[in-house]
Amino acid sequence: MSLGGIRCLVTGAGGFLGQRIVCQLLAEDESLTEVRVLDKTISAEALQDFRKVKTNTLLTVIQGDIRDVALLQTAVQGVSLVIHAASIIDTRGLVDQQTLWDVNVRGTQLLLETCLRNDVQYFIYTSSLEVAGPNNRGDPIYDGDEDTIYWMTQGPPYAETKKEAEKCALELDSLPLKGGNSFVTCALRSMYIYGEGSPFLLRHLDESILNNNVFLRLSRKEALVNPVYVGNIAWAHIQVAKAMRDPTKVKQVRGRFYYISDDTPHASYSDFNYELTKELGFGVEPKPVMPVTLFYYYALFLEIVSFLLKPFFRYVPSITRSLVLLLNTPFSFSYRKAQRDFNYSPRYTWEEAKHHTCQWIAEITPLRAAHLKSKAT
């Protein structure tokens, strides 16, 4: 089954993952009729990348807020597939909780309601590994899957908004549409995403440049995770979209969530940063900045300080307990179910993903170093 001839809306199209999804849609062998891209801001560089793709598909750019109902009405008119990748990603508590909820949850609810009113049949929600954990005890998961039972308390605000938005999307699966069809929804939970343009990798790179090209060790070696290359998580969206339109596969995927990983080697976050950059002369500190337990209580102390200062001004801790646990808990998941249910297989090998990412890092490192030096002076 192909996506040929359909109209598709991609929200969050200006983001790191959203841009890749759009480029892959535009490059499909059987051209879509139209790809609409929606985001609050879409950079000139992103638009340039979209227009570099040789395609017969019409590209329509819509800039605005996901909470704008009138804008959503225009965006989904005549569309049959929505890929909802728009989200505020906040693992450090930089964004106030109400804004997180308004965008990540209420924005998703408004988009779902608009889709139902306008007979949009297919809806893919870009979820997150953090919906699953880790929990506040730091219980590990090794090579888990969608059936893994895991004790989970309330997570940090970002994780809770992603969990609630995913729930909203999946609960609406099978609702009848005006045209006689039924609503088909699915959610993809990605691992930590790396690749060219990664804002998280860029932040770690800046920290290492300021530390004489040595990455801080914020995670212990044993805390194995399995990152996923941005091109592969984007490809999973394309493949599940095709399965949703395939009468022989739609029953398998509808109303379900899937973990999406690839064949990237399992490593701790700190060791993975080193693996991507060691050929460029970067290093990683041999020992953690402090023992994990002490690190956890240090984060607690910073959170208490933030709470006490709240009446006077907003202080955002540099580290939180949830982030300490995220960085130091073994937490990995298999993509076997996605492979079985909708034939997902990574589009890029680990060697290709590493080469592309390393090449990007090599290109931007001199620019980042110059930028950081100018800021220091």
- Active site amino acids: 158
How many whole angstroms separate alpha carbon 166 and alpha carbon 256?
10
Decide: helix, strand or coil at residue 284.
strand
How many whole angstroms separate alpha carbon 207 and alpha carbon 241?
38
Amino acid identity for residue 107 in this structure: G
- Cis omega (within 30 of 0) for bond into 134: yes
Q: How many CB atoms lie within 10 A of CB 33?
A: 16
Radius of gyration of the chain (CA): 21
* Tokens encoding 132: 């699953």
Report yes or no: 64 and 48 within 8 Å, Cβ to Cβ: no
Report yes or no: 61 and 105 within 8 Å, Cβ to Cβ: no
How many whole angstroms separate alpha carbon 130 and alpha carbon 190?
9
Q: How many CB atoms lie within 10 A of CB 176?
A: 10
